[in-house]
């Protein structure tokens, strides 16, 4: 399948991409915060709960898996990629190896270029159609800071290699929500960071129509005393992206970044209200889809059905938001009229 067709499938109207690619370290923290035993068996049970949810294919065009899951099978023995594919959902894979502070570049730099080609070949053989690589930058990072440039350059090398293996790259230069900054500061850092990545992709002559950008929204920092409204977040996010991202980009998907499910969904809705935009947009949340599911499941097999209903509900609200048709009153138990 050509990269163009994969992009079209992933960005199909009415669908989004589930990020279920938490590293073992990250999912362990999320389990432990809820008293769930962080064993391999529990990770399998949880990921099976998500991916066997009846009807999830109505809302999802793709799922980003972690290495452990792409090699795994669901209970009746079907490998995950084959199972997802049979439901019309494309399997994707996180291919970076996390990040480390690198004194040479003065900041956090994403690891994983060593041996990348070999891993890509293996993931392709396992059935992956697309891939993801995440880098991070804090709000307020100086434009052109060495670690931002290095991360952009590695994102471009990764994108080129993924395309050479016939898999679509999702390039994710995440601007972090942690901090007390304003939405205006977030807008500035997103504009500069994304522009640096686009320059790096251009420098390698990469066809942007075969690449999907995964970005944060321009939200107030998690510790900010004043929170920007959804309409301000939307204006700032769209202004940042319009200035930095050429219209030929294959699509733009949003991460949730630590926003609550309600906040991320309301902000996506406000962004969608500004359509038409130069690119197709959709959601690619992890936490804003999964947190209430994990809370309800809590590691108890008796809670699987209810947890799956909550997952479907969050997916349906995210889809409504992507079509600018969400309102807070649709939240279950909401006091809004
Ligand atoms: P969040 O939606 O929890 O930010 O996760 C998305 C993601 O893919 C992070 O790499």
Quick one: average pLDDT of 236-256? 98
Tell me whether residue 132 is one of the annotated catalytic residues: no
134 contact partners, CB below 8 Å, separation of at least 6: 94, 96, 110, 172, 174, 214
Q: Is the pLDDT of residue 146 over 90?
A: yes
Report the nearest-CA residue for atom 10 of ligand 1: 134
pLDDT in tens, 92-144: 999 999 999 999 999 999 999 999 999 999 999 999 999 999 999 999 999 89
Q: Is the pLDDT of residue 161 over 90?
A: yes
Ligand 1 surroundings by CB, under 6 angstroms: 19, 134, 172, 255-257, 285-288
Whether 63 contacts 17, CB under 8 Å: yes
Q: What is the pLDDT at residue 248?
A: 98
Q: What is the pLDDT at residue 337?
A: 43
256 alpha carbon to ligand 1 midpoint, in Å?
A: 6
284 contact partners, CB below 8 Å, separation of at least 6: 16, 17, 18, 19, 64, 170, 214, 253, 254, 255
293 alpha carbon to ligand 1 midpoint, in Å?
A: 15
95 contact partners, CB below 8 Å, separation of at least 6: 112, 116, 119, 120, 123, 131, 132, 133, 158, 162
Strands 168-175 and 130-137: parallel
Whether 260 contacts 210, CB under 8 Å: no
Give the DSSP per-residue string, 194-205: HHHHHHHHHHTT
Residue among 133, 257, 290 to mutate when testing ligand 1 (max atoms within 8 A of CB):
257
Give domain limits for the chain.
3-324
Q: What is the pLDDT at residue 334?
A: 60
Whether 174 contacts 213, CB under 8 Å: no
Q: Is the pLDDT of residue 294 over 90?
A: yes
CATH of domain 3-324: 3.20.20.70
Report the nearest-CA residue for atom 4 of ligand 1: 257
Report the nearest-CA residue for atom 5 of ligand 1: 286
119 alpha carbon to ligand 1 midpoint, in Å?
A: 22
Q: What count of Cα atoms within 13 Å lies in the side-chain half-sphere of residue 157?
A: 16
The catalytically annotated residue of 15, 94, 132, 214 is 214
| Stated pTM of the model | 0.98
201 alpha carbon to ligand 1 midpoint, in Å?
A: 22
pLDDT in tens, 31-71: 999 999 999 999 999 999 999 999 999 999 999 999 999 99
Q: What is the pLDDT at residue 1?
A: 72
Interatomic CA distance for residues 27 and 14, integer angstroms: 28
Tell me whether residue 174 is one of the annotated catalytic residues: no
Whether 90 contacts 61, CB under 8 Å: yes
Report the nearest-CA residue for atom 8 of ligand 1: 19
Q: Give exposure, 168-181, as e/b (b: 16+ Cβ within 10 Å).
A: bbbbbbbbbbebeb
The terminus-to-terminus CA distance of the chain in angstroms comes to 47
Whether 93 contacts 67, CB under 8 Å: yes
pLDDT in tens, 176-202: 999 999 999 999 999 999 999 999 999
């Amino acid at each position: 399948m050509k990269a163009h067709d994969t992009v079209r499938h992933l960005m199909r109207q009415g669908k989004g991409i589930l990020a279920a690619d938490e590293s073992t370290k990250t999912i362990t923290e999320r389990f432990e915060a809820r008293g769930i035993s962080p064993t391999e068996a529990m990770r399998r049970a949880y990921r099976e709960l998500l991916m066997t949810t009846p009807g999830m294919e109505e809302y999802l065009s793709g799922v980003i898996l972690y290495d452990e899951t792409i090699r795994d099978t669901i209970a009746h023995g079907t490998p995950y990629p084959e199972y997802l594919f049979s439901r019309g959902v494309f399997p994707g894979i996180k291919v970076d190896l996390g990040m480390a502070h690198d004194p040479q570049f003065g900041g956090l730099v994403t690891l994983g270029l060593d041996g990348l080609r070999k891993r890509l070949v293996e993931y392709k053989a396992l059935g992956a159609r697309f891939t993801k690589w995440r880098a991070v930058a804090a709000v307020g990072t100086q434009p052109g800071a060495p670690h931002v440039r290095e991360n952009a350059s590695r994102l471009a090398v990764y994108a080129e290699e993924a395309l050479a293996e016939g898999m679509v790259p999702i390039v994710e230069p995440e601007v972090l929500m942690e901090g007390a900054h304003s939405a205006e500061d977030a807008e500035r850092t997103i504009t500069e960071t994304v522009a640096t990545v686009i320059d790096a992709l251009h420098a390698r002559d990469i066809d942007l129509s075969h690449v999907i950008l995964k970005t944060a929204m321009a939200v107030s920092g998690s510790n900010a005393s004043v929170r920007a409204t959804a309409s301000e977040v939307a204006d700032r996010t769209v202004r940042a992206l319009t200035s930095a991202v050429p219209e030929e980009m294959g699509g733009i998907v949003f991460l949730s970044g630590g926003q609550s499910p309600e906040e991320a969904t309301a902000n996506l809705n406000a962004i969608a209200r500004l359509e038409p935009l130069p690119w197709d947009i959709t959601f690619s949340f992890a936490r804003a889809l999964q947190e209430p599911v994990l809370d309800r499941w809590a590691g108890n097999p008796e809670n699987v059905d209810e947890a799956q209903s909550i997952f479907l509900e969050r997916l349906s609200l995210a889809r409504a938001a992507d079509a600018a048709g969400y309102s807070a009153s649709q939240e279950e138990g909401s006091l809004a009229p």
